[in-house]
Amino acid sequence: MTHIADLTATQTLARIAAGTLSFAGVREALAQRIAEREPVVRAFVDIHPAPSAGPGPLSGTFFGVKDVLDTADQPSQYGNPIWDGWQPRADAACVALAKTAGGAVMGKTVTTEFATRHPGPTTNPHNPAHTPGGSSSGSAAGVAAGFFHFGIGTQTGGSILRPAAYCGVVGFKPSFGALHRGGMKVMSESLDTIGVMARSVADCALAMAAMTGGDYGQPDTAAPRPPRLALVDANTPQTRAVLESVAEACRAKGAEVVVLTLPAVFAAAMAAHPWVMNMESAQALAFELATAPEKLSPGLLERMLEARAAPTQRLIDGRAAFHAAQDAFAGAIEGFDAVLTPAAPDEAPLGLENTGDPVFNSLWTLLHTPAVSVPIGHGAQGLPLGAQIVTPIGQDAACLMWGEWVRQAVMG
């Protein structure tokens, strides 16, 4: 029988509705799992499980909240010592929405420094010698380890999709702005997107619908037909081999999968991504740079100073490149239901110093499209692999539906 801590949110809610499980039972099971595994996984910066939950569609489930999102009853320290002990007076909008829907917070989860690349102590639940990915490290690892049902994360490059793939869970980056950024330590105005991680695609749809009131579909029900998928960005030999095996599994289930090369406007936007991200982040960290630069990690400080020295026109041009690619995307994939692409270059890298490369995620972040990472098995080292499915902005329910279709085609 599946351990209570390993149930999906939808399974947990079904048992509660049937009277075979209680909120107290869920809380106890999750607390026991945390006691067993947290000393190695190290997903949390603060563990403070809610003693009760209000009514709503998520009542009986628990969240882990990435520590760049404010919480009224737990510290919010953003992965940097400048903010040690900082206690906001209010919850971030997404946290308040989750609570209003009946969700309970288990604790604050580890983020890389200001959701950039300097890592925290979190390890991969499948092998602690490997990174869980970042920057939403603790949220992904906590879902995979059975510490909570939903991890709230943020993405500027690949900070939801990549750690979800590395940890073998589902990661969903909704359309830009679907979850309000009030109460978030925003780094990049053009890029930062709040999303969720869970143990199933249906759970992601449940959480998003409960928090936003939007229609995210029923991805665990059968799709109306096999999809027509555009295969994009398999540009390394190992990634190409893995993605082609996914494509073959989809073709065996009736999908049409066609290799697609995107026009040059998308490469131009990708080239602008690091400059827009870093220049906007340098603006966001104006206070920290002015008052305590010595408390920034050397790598972050170097990037921020370089970004501040760049001409403003570079940021203006970069944003224009983003807009041009956004305007071109729907036309570029016309006739396809979705894009199929890797969620990460490979399995999680060895060591905790490097959270992995967002090369397969950054484009979809700057395009503001929904994207979902789904588990597709394990690689040569026995660590999880993920495939990513992308649809045009606003087609979030379709993104989740086709993501679940691909997952079932590969995993059975």
- How many other CB atoms are there within 10 angstroms of residue 93's CB atom? 18
Q: Where are the beta strands (DSSP E) in 240-349?
A: 256-259, 338-342
99, 108, 135, 137: the catalytic one is 135
CA gyration radius for the chain? 20
Phi, psi dihedral angles at 309 (to 5 degrees) = -80, -10
- How many other CB atoms are there within 10 angstroms of residue 215's CB atom? 11
Q: How far is CA 381 from CA 142, 172, 236, 384, in A?
A: 21, 25, 18, 9
- Active site (annotated) includes residue 159: yes
**For residue 367, which of 390, 388, 345 has the smallest C-alpha distance?**
390
66, 108, 173, 185: the catalytic one is 66
- Active site (annotated) includes residue 136: no
Q: How many helices (H) and strands (E) does the chain have?
A: 13, 11
Phi, psi dihedral angles at 94 (to 5 degrees) = -65, -35
- Residue 150's beta-bridge partner residues? 63
Dihedral (CA of 35, 36, 40, 44) sign: negative
Q: Which residues contact 252 (CB under 8 A, 6 or more apart)?
A: 409
Q: Which contiguous run of DSSP H or E holds residue 34?
A: helix 23-41
139, 159, 281, 297: the catalytic one is 159
Phi, psi dihedral angles at 250 (to 5 degrees) = -70, -40
* Catalytic annotation, residues: 66, 135, 159
